[in-house]
Amino acid sequence: MEVNDASSRILAGLLETRTGQQLTISRRWRIETALKALMRERAIGTLDQLIATLVAGREPGLAEEVVDALLNNETYFYRDRAPFDLLLNGAVRRLERTRAAEKRLSIWCAGCSTGQEVYSLAMAFAEDSVRWRGWKIDIIGTDVSRGAIERARTGLYSQFEVQRGLPVLQMIRWFEEEEGQQWRIRPEIRDSVRFQHHSLAEPPPRPGRFDVILCRNVLLYFSNEMRRAVFDKLASASAADAILMLGAGETVIGQTEEFVSDPDHRGLYMRRERSGVVEPRRSSVG
């Protein structure tokens, strides 16, 4: 399938308008692979035909399916492991102390893809059930991709997906095998979390004030402007002493003035106001 400049510009424009994600020139090689299955399902023979149908707006839902197919949904359980250990065994203990009276924690996984990140947290809390007895732990996963959110809700993973990042003992404990080498998350974990279709361009989901926010491997392909706006939004949706966890290759440095590195847990971030950092805000960031 030949992807010419005009076609890739139209597709890149559609993706950016709907999600904020940029399909930079260096990532345009993905178009062909990403759209193959969708074109087969819809019996669309060529990319030109797909673009013509899109532009004509003749097929309802096609634009959304194209956007879904172009999004990078790569994820796996306990991705990069170390930040999860830092979060669960370090930073969350601080919140455990400061929330001891109300016994509530609200956690938002923004851009959670097919749910592995959300279930990783839910399993970890369930495994520490004595410590968290009496607490209300609300974990919400959101994503702009309806397809990803639908899959997350099913909690059903292939053999390959369920083994990625998840130790066998956890797999056996929290998943039930179904026909065709599929593994379904157990109902007690499934029912302890919620999923919602949501774009980071929109106001944050309820309750709108979170103690922990994971926004991992999502901001990478936003423009600087969109990334800054999203950081502002995450800050406005955070409790004063909230924790922010980004992807392994991501940072707040040079991206936002709202968050700074958590000095006690390097690799995690916190609101500037609570950090004791006193230098004045700069009016513009790179």
Does residue 242 touch ligand SAM according to CB under 6 A?
no
Residue 75 or 106 having the CB closest to ligand SAM: 75
Does residue 234 touch ligand SAM according to CB under 6 A?
no
Q: Please report the beta strands in 123-229, taking only residues with DSSP state E, as ranges in sequence order.
A: 136-143, 156-158, 175-178, 182-185, 193-197, 210-215
Residue 217 or 272 having the CB closest to ligand SAM: 217
Backbone angles phi and psi of 40, in degrees to 5? -65, -50
Does residue 233 touch ligand SAM according to CB under 6 A?
no
CA 79 to chain centre: 11
Beta-sheet pairing, 259-261 with 268-271? antiparallel
Does residue 121 touch ligand SAM according to CB under 6 A?
no
Does residue 20 touch ligand SAM according to CB under 6 A?
yes
Report yes or no: 1 and 32 within 8 Å, Cβ to Cβ: yes
Kindly identify the residues of this chain, within the stretch 123-142, that bind ligand SAM according to CB under 6 A.
none
DSSP annotation of 283 reads: S
**Binds ligand SAM (CB under 6 A): choice among 90, 205, 247, 267:** 247
Q: Give the number of residues in contact with ligand SAM, rule: CB under 6 A.
A: 24
**Binds ligand SAM (CB under 6 A): choice among 2, 5, 74, 179:** 74
SS3 239: strand
Residue 4 or 224 having the CB closest to ligand SAM: 224
Question: Interacting stretch for ligand SAM, rule CB under 6 A, among 22-30, 97-105, 109-117, 252-260?
Answer: 109-117
**Distances in whole angstroms, Cα of residue 7 to Cα of each of 2, 109, 150:** 9, 33, 29
Does residue 111 touch ligand SAM according to CB under 6 A?
yes
- Other CB atoms within a 10 A radius of the CB of residue 164 amount to 14
**138: Cβ contacts below 8 Å, ≥ 6 apart:** 104, 105, 106, 107, 194, 207
Residue 70 or 272 having the CB closest to ligand SAM: 70
Residue 90 or 247 having the CB closest to ligand SAM: 247
Does residue 204 touch ligand SAM according to CB under 6 A?
no
**Binds ligand SAM (CB under 6 A): choice among 218, 244, 245, 260:** 218
Q: Tell me the C-alpha distance between 23 and 71, whole Å.
A: 9
Q: List interacting residues with ligand SAM (CB under 6 A).
A: 19-21, 71-75, 79, 111-113, 117, 143-145, 148, 199-201, 216-218, 247
